[in-house]
Every structure is written in C-alpha cells, then in structure tokens.
C-alpha cells in the first residue's frame, strides 16, 4: 500500500483505531502512523497495566524456556531491532530510552542452582548460542557488588534492557508529533455483520475505523468478547519493586533463584534497580502484598547485599497478558480487527516484532517468518476465533 500522503485523494481512506496505550498499542500506532490516513489511540486507563511498571528486560537468552524455541526465534530477531528503534525514537523527539547492552548474568547461589545453570547453558547450546560459564571470581570482577554467596554464573551477552518509562514517553511524544491523537476513556470494539467497524465510546458514540487494533493486554479477552471473538489472554499478576542508590551499583541485569524465589535485578543508569517479579495466576487482582515485598527484598539483598541501604522507591503491580503457549497473538483475527496482545513477559522485547506484524496485517508489507507461529488462529487451548 502506498504511503497515505502519496496516494491520490480519491483512494480509500485508512482510519485506524488502537485500543490500548501500553507498549503494544503505542508501537502499533507508531508502526502505522506514517502510512495510513489517521490513527487514534484510546488509552482506557485499564487497571494493572503492565507496561508502565515493567522492568524492560530485552532478554531473549535469559528467558528461554523448554519448548519455547519458536518464541525464542521471534524474540531473538526482535531484540536485534531495538538499537534501530531506540535510534529512531531519539531522532523523533530527543528522548534517550536508556538502551543498555551489558547483557544478563544468570547466577547460582546454591549447589542445586549450578545444575539449573548447566541446563540453561545446554538449552542455549542447542540453539547454537553456547553462553560463557563464569566462576565466582569472574562474576564479581564484572559486578563487584555481588554477594560472596555467588558460586558461578552464565554470561548472556546479547541480552539488552531499556528504561520503560523513557520508552513510553518517547513513543507518546513521537506519536503526538506525527499527529496521532491519544484519547483517554474506555472504548469497546463494535461489529457490523462479520466486520469490526470501529469502537464505541463511553458516551455511546461510535468512532468508525477501517481497522481496529486490539492491544489491551490482560484486558483483551473481555473487550474481544464484545464482538463475539474469543482471545485467549489471562492476567498473570507480577509485583515489582524499585530501589535507588546514590551511585549505580550494577551494570548487568542479574537473575538468580534465592530459597526458591526467582528474582531479577535490572539496573537503570540513574542508580535505580528494578527488582522483579512475582508471578501469580489470580485474575484481576492488583493488591500489593507484604509477601511479595518480603520475598523480593530478601532475594535481591541476598544477591547484592548493599541494596539493604537503598531507598525503596516503589512497589507496583502489573498484569501480564498471559496465553496458553506463552506466545503473543499477532495479526488479523477477524475482518477489520488486528490483534497485538498476549505478549505475556515480553511486551518490550517483542515491540519490534509487533510493529512488523501489525504493518503486515494492515498494510500488507513483508512479514517475518518467525512470526508465523504466533498468528491469532493457531491451535492452542485458548484460541482466537469467531464462534
Ligand atoms: N519479563 C519479566 C517479567 O515478566 O517479569
């Protein structure tokens, strides 16, 4: 499809409405904004939005799980798109999204965890990505603040991270400069016959669109149900803490298991460390619990003892949009409806992949073969489809 401004005035207008102003919605709007006639993003202020509180790990190697090789392939390609995306966002509005390339250190603090490091090394080796195995002294040379309890580590050099607050601000600013309106208030998709034809505002008015992009994270399922579509997304609660030290204590992202509690620590350049995250399948529960705070603080300070003296900046909850196979739904789900949801733990990591998939669905541009397994109508237990 030619760019909107290059098309004759008589050509059909393409009006896009995006439901959701998290990372998936904003990146979808950004991906389309130069090539369609209008894009409006509806920020419904949905409870438990994951994007503003996410740690921003772009960690395709660290987060690889057994049986998720297809997801890893998509994630590994997507992460390679981040340096260009970060550069384009900087050019668009001068915002530095804090892209860091020091990688991840997976750590073992207990004899039992040595075996898990070995398993993860074998998982990556099977994909042709054998990581470097480090002894305790080398780990501490890389990160002097590490506890003396650290026994060994795996260095995953290709993992990146971003400052999620900066990414959202950069995207919002860049969209406004491109004339994309970001409206507040609840909306739901509406259908005329077999086609989704726009969104209904809380006033009852309908905002017509040729394409609606559903990017409402954990809330996508009830919204899709309004047009008779089943989108298999469920909320998976995560609690995170933000700590701040006067001078930065870390450079790499750290991951470890402490007394059965999995923990990650993601450093920001301003001295903040994001500590996450719990994982609970408990519906739309956004309560901040003492248990999560205790578990995360005990685990984080066991890995980096000097964080005991850090400032405790915040304790937040995000509802990850989980799916049956942990992969996203990307593409046309029904006539007039494109879905960009179900990113689960990987909203930021998969942002470049989401941009490409949404452009493919709306504009017919080239798709990534790695995205094919994540088409909306794939056969999984909780599927997407019109009944
Ligand atoms: N990707 C980090 C998390 O979901 O907690």
Q: Is 5 inside any structural domain?
A: no
Ligand 1 mean position, distance from CA 292 (Å): 15
Q: Encode pLDDT of 258-311 as tens digits.
A: 999 999 999 998 899 999 989 999 999 999 999 999 999 999 999 999 999 999
Q: Is 7 inside any structural domain?
A: no
Ligand 1 mean position, distance from CA 363 (Å): 31
Domain of residue 193, CATH code: 3.50.50.60
Return the ligand 1 atom nearest residue 345 CA.
4
How far apart are the C-alpha atoms of 59 and 278, rounded to whole Å?
A: 17
pLDDT at 4: 52
Nearest CA to ligand 1 atom 1: 345
Nearest CA to ligand 1 atom 4: 345
Ligand 1 mean position, distance from CA 236 (Å): 10
Q: Is 1 inside any structural domain?
A: no
pLDDT at 317: 98
Q: Name the residue of 57, 296, 327 to mutate for ligand 1: max ligand atoms within 8 A of Cβ.
A: 57
- Pair (36, 93) in one structural domain: yes
* Domain stop point among 266, 290, 322: 322
- Pair (355, 224) in one structural domain: yes
Residues of the chain with confidence (pLDDT) below 70? 1-12, 380-387
- Pair (373, 263) in one structural domain: no
- Pair (240, 381) in one structural domain: no
Q: Which range marks the domain in which residue 95 is found?
A: 12-99+160-232+324-387
- Pair (205, 303) in one structural domain: no
Ligand 1 mean position, distance from CA 63 (Å): 9
Report the pocket of ligand 1 as residue ranges, CB < 6 Å.
55, 57, 238, 276-277, 320, 345
Ligand 1 mean position, distance from CA 200 (Å): 32
Q: Is 73 inside any structural domain?
A: yes
Q: Is 3 inside any structural domain?
A: no
CB 133 within 8 A of CB 120: no
Ligand 1 mean position, distance from CA 57 (Å): 8
pLDDT at 256: 97
CA atoms within 13 A on the CB side of 286: 13
Return the ligand 1 atom nearest residue 279 CA.
5
- Pair (171, 309) in one structural domain: no
Q: Encode pLDDT of 123-170 as tens digits.
A: 999 999 999 999 999 999 999 999 999 999 999 999 999 999 999 999
**Domain tally, the chain:** 2
How far apart are the C-alpha atoms of 249 and 102, rounded to whole Å?
A: 14
Ligand 1 mean position, distance from CA 380 (Å): 22
Q: Kindly report the CA angle at 266 between 263 and 267, in degrees rounded to 5?
A: 140
- Pair (276, 289) in one structural domain: yes
Nearest CA to ligand 1 atom 2: 345
pTM exceeds 0.85, yes or no: yes
Q: Name the residue of 65, 266, 320 to mutate for ligand 1: max ligand atoms within 8 A of Cβ.
A: 320
Beta strands in the chain (DSSP E): 15-19, 38-43, 57-58, 104-108, 132-135, 152-156, 160-161, 181-184, 187-192, 195-201, 206-208, 211-214, 234-244, 253-258, 261-267, 272-276, 311-322, 329-334, 337-341
Nearest CA to ligand 1 atom 3: 345
* Domain stop point among 295, 322, 349: 322
């Amino acid at each position: 499809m030619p760019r909107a401004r290059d098309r004759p005035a008589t050509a059909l207008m393409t009006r896009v409405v995006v439901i959701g102003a998290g990372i998936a919605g904003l990146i979808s709007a950004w991906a389309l904004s130069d090539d369609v006639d209008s894009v409006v993003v509806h920020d419904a202020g949905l409870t438990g939005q994951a994007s503003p509180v996410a740690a921003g790990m772009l960690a395709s190697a660290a987060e690889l799980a057994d049986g998720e090789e297809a997801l890893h392939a998509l994630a590994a390609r997507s992460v390679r798109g981040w340096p260009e995306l970060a550069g384009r966002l900087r050019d668009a509005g001068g915002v530095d999204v804090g892209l860091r390339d020091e990688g991840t250190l997976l750590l073992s603090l207990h004899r039992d965890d040595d075996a898990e490091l070995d398993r993860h090394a074998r998982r990556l080796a099977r994909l042709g990505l054998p990581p470097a195995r480090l002894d305790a002294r080398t780990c501490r040379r890389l990160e002097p603040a590490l506890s003396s309890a650290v026994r060994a580590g795996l260095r995953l050099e290709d993992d990146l991270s971003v400052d999620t607050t900066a990414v959202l601000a950069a995207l919002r600013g860049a969209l406004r400069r491109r004339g994309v309106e970001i409206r507040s208030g609840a909306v739901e998709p509406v259908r005329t016959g077999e086609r989704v034809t726009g969104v209904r505002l809380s006033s009852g008015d309908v905002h017509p669109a040729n394409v609606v992009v559903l990017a409402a994270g954990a809330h996508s399922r009830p919204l899709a149900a309004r047009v008779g579509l089943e989108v298999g997304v469920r909320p998976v609660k995560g609690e995170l803490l933000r700590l701040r030290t006067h001078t930065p204590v870390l450079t790499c992202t750290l991951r470890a298991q402490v007394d059965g509690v999995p923990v990650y620590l993601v450093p920001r350049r301003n001295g903040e460390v994001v500590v996450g995250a719990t994982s609970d399948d408990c519906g739309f529960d956004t309560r901040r619990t003492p248990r999560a705070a205790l578990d995360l603080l005990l685990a984080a300070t066991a890995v980096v003892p000097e964080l005991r003296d850090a400032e405790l900046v915040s304790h937040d909850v995000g509802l990850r949009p989980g799916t049956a196979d942990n992969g996203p739904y990307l593409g046309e789900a029904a006539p007039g409806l494109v879905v960009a949801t179900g990113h689960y733990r990987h909203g930021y990591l998969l942002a470049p992949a989401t941009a490409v998939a949404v452009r493919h669905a709306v504009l017919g541009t080239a798709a990534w073969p790695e995205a094919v397994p994540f088409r909306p109508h794939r056969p999984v237990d909780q599927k997407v489809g019109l009944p």
